């Protein structure tokens, strides 16, 4: 490395991740010996800034970009506000500056005998992985912010990463690019023979982002009619089905228990990674299903507010069938996530991709809080499922430090939703349900938490936007247990409308997870003195 600042930037960024897994991370008495993740993140952010200074006219080295990837990952787990959004964009620019989008533009280097130069290929694999790590962060941030990707499809000449075991053993394996055409992605990946969990996760994630961008196109956009949009969403749905069917056998989730343990062979840590891969791929698959159906479900719910019957009961023929299919797919995706969480180790939240998990869990919890009024959906079971997801989500938020300012509201909102699930709208309006799940009944117990939408009856349900500190639009919360008026998911982020909702906050500093200095990377877990 060229300077101490570069070395400190890389080491501190690594520790901002790994410090979470130390037993003393939650024990303040040990912080002088084992600092919290925010302590290292603050160092990493400052050292990266210092180290980039000398590279005003030339591209920085790869290791400095790798440090920036970890630093930006830390920021995104905390919030997707302006600081982390800008940091993500900077990553994309740095990746382009280093030419990571062109790693494989000229094919594979070969020796004089025509054989693949394995050493050179292996060095390039490290660059490929860095590029696709940036892509994952870009997709996540762009999806949450409802903005275009920083990476452009026309500049994607880098092959998807191969399996860890092959790279670690310096064993060449062919791969492929990620085609712009969604219909050909699964075929191209399958034909390449690449069985890397990361490659298949990227393929599914790309469909999730395509669905989100298409489904949530502003209504003022006249490029697509409603029927054209529906057809394209159906096409993405077909691609998702093909992709999940083509998954390598070991990556398909079939309802088995994922214990995330290595008891049989403690040195075989790859088993934990394998379970994490299965979990993440299944989670992002269900998240894609939510993206494909949520807008349809939301539209149907708005046409039949406050009705206990099936939302499709007021439609006829083909429209009724389409409505019913959308509701069924929406709930099946939620139930698939409930099954996955139920069958996974209690501490599995430590080993998951928190960026995907938070979005998928919140969608699933929101779906469970929607009472469809059909006999096959038990309100008691829905309440139990919701509680399971909410508890798991709270563990994720606690471990990863995500949207820390909203943690106090998570339990409060959960009590409100569970109360809504277990009682009729009439009981909720007049308070006749007594103590209920909220722990006492009456208006005080039904108070809607800050930053949540509610109707005059005091109904409220959390949306994923609440976790990341985003503004939720006028239809952003559950209007009652019968409607999915939830989450006009991923409304356009604007700081000013968010500020307008602060009437219930005692001071503005409570809004920001990083305190006064939002760019420092410092979280709320009070770093120790310098050591």
Q: What is the CA radius of gyration of the chain?
A: 24
Q: Which two tokens stand for residue 104?
A: 């494989």
Residue 44 pLDDT > 90: yes
What pLDDT is stored for residue 175 in this prediction? Answer: 97
pLDDT in tens, 441-466: 333 332 333 333 333 333 333 333 33
The beta strands (E) that lie in 287-423 are given as none
Is residue 419 very low, low, confident or very high in pLDDT (cuts 50, 70, 90)? low
User: What pLDDT is stored for residue 439 in this prediction?
Assistant: 36
CB contact burial 87-117 (16+ within 10 A = b; e otherwise): bbbbbbebbbebebbebbeeeeeeeeeeeee
Q: What single DSSP character describes residue 353?
A: -
3-class SS of residue 110: strand
Q: At what angle do helices 62-78 and 4-18 cross, to 10 degrees?
A: 40
- 72 in Cβ contact with 88 (< 8 Å): yes
Residue 370 has what pLDDT? 66
22-36, 276-290, 297-311: lowest mean pLDDT where? 297-311
pLDDT of residue 316: 57
Average pLDDT for 98-122: 91
In angstroms, the CA 499 to CA 522 distance is 22
Surface-to-core class of residue 501, CB atoms within 10 Å of its CB (0-12 exposed, 13-18 middle, 19+ buried) = middle
330, pLDDT greater than 90: no
Structure tokens at 7: 């070395």
**Which tokens in the block code for residue 461?**
């349900």
| Angle at 298 (CA atoms; ends 295, 300), nearest 5 degrees | 110
Mean pLDDT over residues 383-389, rounded? 88
In DSSP notation, 411-458 reads HHHHHHHHHHHHS-HHHHHHTTTTTTTTTS-HHHHTPPPTT----TT-
Distance CA 459, CA 378 (A): 20
Q: Is the pLDDT of residue 381 over 60?
A: yes
Residue 214 in tokens? 């298409």
- Asked whether the beta carbons of 514 and 520 are under 8 A apart, the reply is yes
State what percent of residues in the chain have pLDDT above 70: 65
Q: Which residue matches tokens 């699930």? A: 421
Q: Write down the pLDDT at residue 409.
A: 46
Question: 505 vs 323, which has greater pLDDT?
Answer: 323
Confidence check: pLDDT of 522 > 60:
no
Q: Give me the DSSP letters along 163-174.
A: -HHHHHTT----
Higher-confidence residue: 188 or 324? 188
């Amino acid at each position: 490395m060229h300077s101490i600042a570069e070395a400190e930037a890389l080491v501190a960024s690594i520790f901002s991740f790994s410090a979470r897994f130390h037993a003393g991370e939650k024990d303040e008495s040990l912080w002088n010996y084992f600092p919290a993740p925010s302590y290292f993140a603050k160092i990493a952010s400052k050292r990266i800034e210092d180290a980039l200074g000398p590279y005003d006219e030339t591209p920085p080295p790869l290791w400095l970009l790798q440090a920036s990837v970890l630093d930006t990952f830390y920021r995104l787990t905390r919030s997707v506000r302006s600081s982390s959004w800008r940091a993500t964009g900077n990553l994309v620019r740095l990746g382009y500056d280093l030419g990571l989008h062109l790693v494989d533009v000229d094919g594979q280097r070969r020796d004089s005998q025509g054989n693949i130069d394995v050493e050179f290929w292996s060095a390039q694999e490290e660059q490929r992985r860095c590029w696709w790590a940036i892509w994952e962060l870009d997709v996540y941030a762009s999806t949450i912010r409802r903005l275009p990707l920083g990476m452009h499809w026309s500049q994607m000449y880098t092959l998807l990463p191969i399996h860890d075991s092959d790279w670690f053993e310096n064993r060449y394996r062919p791969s492929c690019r990620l085609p712009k055409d969604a219909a050909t992605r699964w075929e191209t990946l399958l034909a390449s023979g690449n069985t890397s969990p990361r490659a298949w996760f990227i393929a599914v994630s790309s469909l999730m982002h395509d669905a989100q961008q298409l489904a949530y196109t502003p209504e003022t956009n006249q490029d697509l009619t409603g029927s054209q949009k529906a057809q394209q969403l159906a096409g993405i749905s077909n691609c998702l089905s093909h992709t999940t069917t083509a998954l390598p056998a070991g990556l398909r989730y079939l309802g088995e228990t994922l214990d995330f343990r290595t008891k049989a062979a403690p040195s075989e840590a790859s088993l934990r990674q394998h379970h994490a891969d299965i979990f993440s791929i299944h989670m992002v698959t269900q998240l894609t299903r939510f993206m494909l159906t949520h807008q349809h479900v939301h539209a149907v719910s708005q046409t039949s507010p406050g009705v206990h019957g099936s939302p499709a009961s007021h439609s006829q023929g083909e429209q009724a069938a389409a409505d019913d299919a959308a509701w069924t797919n929406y709930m099946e995706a939620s139930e698939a996530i409930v099954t996955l969480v139920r069958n996974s180790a209690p501490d599995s939240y430590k080993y998951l991709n928190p960026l995907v998990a938070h979005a998928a869990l919140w969608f699933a919890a929101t779906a469970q809080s929607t009472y469809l009024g059909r006999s096959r959906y038990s309100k008691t079971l829905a309440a139990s499922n919701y509680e399971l997801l909410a508890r798991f989500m709270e563990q994720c938020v606690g471990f990863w430090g995500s949207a820390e300012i909203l943690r106090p509201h998570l339990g409060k909102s959960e009590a409100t939703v569970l109360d809504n699930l277990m009682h009729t709208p009439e009981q909720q309006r007049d308070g006749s349900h007594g103590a209920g799940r909220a722990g006492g009944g009456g208006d005080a117990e039904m108070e809607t938490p800050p930053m949540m939408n509610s109707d005059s009856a005091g109904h409220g349900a959390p949306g994923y936007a609440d976790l990341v500190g985003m503004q939720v639009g006028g239809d952003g919360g559950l209007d009652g247990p019968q409607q999915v008026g939830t989450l006009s998911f991923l409304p356009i982020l604007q700081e000013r409308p968010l500020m307008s909702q602060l009437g219930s906050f005692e001071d503005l500093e409570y809004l920001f997870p990083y305190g006064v200095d939002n760019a420092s990377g410092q979280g709320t877990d009070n770093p120790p003195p310098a050591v």
